[in-house]
Amino acid sequence: MAAQTPQAGIIPEPNQHALFLVTKVNNPTATRETVAGVVAGIPELVTAVGGHDTEAALVCTVSFGSGFWDVLSPGRRPKGLRPFTAIDLPGKTAPSTGGDILFHLISKRLDLNFELAKQIQSRLGEAIDVLDEVHGFRYLDSRDLTGFIDGTENPSGDEERAEVALIGNEDPDFAGGSYVFTQRYVHNFPKWQATPQDEQEGAVGRRKLDSEELSDEVKPPTAHISRVVIEENGEELEILRHSFPYGTTSEAGLFFIAYTKDLDITDKMLRRMLGASGDGLHDHLMDYTQAVSGAHFFAPSLEMLQALGK
């Protein structure tokens, strides 16, 4: 089988600005051909818009929800693609809000992201409705708005990042593609800011200043990294995070997005975070933030994306 190229935004380290556009396709059966033609042409559109400033490195990854993928590609489905299942526990919830197409735009310039998103919406017209539009930004030295450095556990180097994110021989028909898990979180800043720094560090499992991991003697089993760092058969389960802070002075948080070759990994992490894994513990960072969206998508290889329009 010929090598399959991952979409351009998955493997590289992200730039300063991201735009996440979660959309619903109206009357999918009737609009299928129109939508397929537009999404297949996204790489060309990125080149055209990005030509205003090639150093801004504009990219866009296009991903599809489980239901709409079946409309686009009936009978040809990635083995691991499935809708996200909501988690609803007393005081801890992760809603499933879905979406048919996710456009993940990244560049060094907010205006180029905006221009590309505007042109995508114009081409799709009434075929889609926007469910969520989130403009993410790099905050200080790659910190979350809680003040802690985000993504410290991310794999480094293109080879390792590809190994974690991309489907391979386990599903060769979809090699070069990736599964995507998204959640938008709204932080409770008054509660967080009223919490002493040592308690914040205990909730995260790292020192705030330099992101140094707390020692095993000090780090609580309820710390964020205690819950999401999972080992199975002697190997750590990894995902490739592309999360960004977002918001206004009245509401802000984190748009969490991860690319993975196996959605079971993100499911296990989330269940441990929310206290649904059966050990009676939950991630204490979740006491300060709330997920308000959640969805699974599939990002096909570049070749498969472009073939949708044929």
Give me the DSSP letters along 147-189. SSBS-TT---SHHHHHHHHS--TTSGGGTT-EEEEEEEEEE-H
Residue of 129, 150, 262, 283 marked active site: 150
The DSSP letter of residue 256 is E
Q: Which residues pair with 299 in a beta bridge?
A: 178
Does residue 144 carry a catalytic annotation?
no
C-beta separation of 39 from 45 below 8 A = no
At 111, give phi and psi (nearest 5°): -65, -35
Cα-Cα-Cα-Cα dihedral sign, residues 164, 98, 148, 144 = positive
The residue written with tokens 């985000």 in the block is 150
How far CA 131 is from CA of 135, 263, 292, in Å, comes to 14, 22, 12
Contact 108, 305 (CB under 8 A): no
Could you identify the residue written with the tokens 């992101």? 211
Widest CA span in the chain: 60
Write out the catalytic residue numbers: 150
